[in-house]
Amino acid sequence: MKKIIEKLKEKNIKITPQRIAIIEFLMSTKSHPSAEDIYKEISKKYPSMSYATVYNTLITLKNLGEVVELAIDSDKKRFDIDTSLHHHFYCTRCKRVYDLSKNFIIEAISTIDGHNVERTFLNFTGICNKCLKEEKDEQDRKKS
Ligand SMILES: [Zn+2]
Ligand SMILES: [Zn+2]
């Protein structure tokens, strides 16, 4: 949090309570929200804030390398404040996007060809284990 604020100050970007609220919200969630999701959440507290403020703040943070834009969901761009190397899974049923813990593919590339991978945008799409379990439970209920 402090690091991001320092970076914004260095670039002469005004630190407003709205901007801080956006950063805090991003840090508090693992949901990989879209600009609209963030706007909906923050405007509860700051009703006068515009969608453009949210969007512009996200783009600023992205340009500073503090936020990653994900192209995993074809309906909307999503944002992740966790800029560490990790992959994402998108469930086509519940529309959740979440982090996959393993960086197996990066490890494989790095060791096989000696690359120095700094960024990756590897996205997995499918049905998450939670949805599959619900489906199975539903089937079991019908059987009994
Ligand atoms: Zn799901
Ligand atoms: Zn992520």
Residue 80 · residue 70 · CB < 8 Å: yes
Is 45 in the same domain as 111? no
**78 and 7 in one domain?**
yes
Q: Separation of 87 CA from ligand 2 center, angstroms? A: 7
Quickly state the pLDDT bin for 51 (edges 50, 70, 90).
very high
31, 54: one domain: yes
Domain residue limits at 139: 84-144
| 129 sits in which H/E element | helix 129-143
Percent of the chain with pLDDT over 70: 88
Tell me, in angstroms, the distance from the centre of ligand 2 to residue 116's CA.
20
Is-above-0.75 flag for pTM?
yes
Q: Do strands 97-100 and 68-70 pair parallel, antiparallel, or not at all (unpaired)?
A: unpaired
Amino acid at 66: E
Residues with CB under 5 A from ligand 1 (ion): 91, 93-94, 128, 131
Tell me: do 104 and 69 sit in the same domain: no
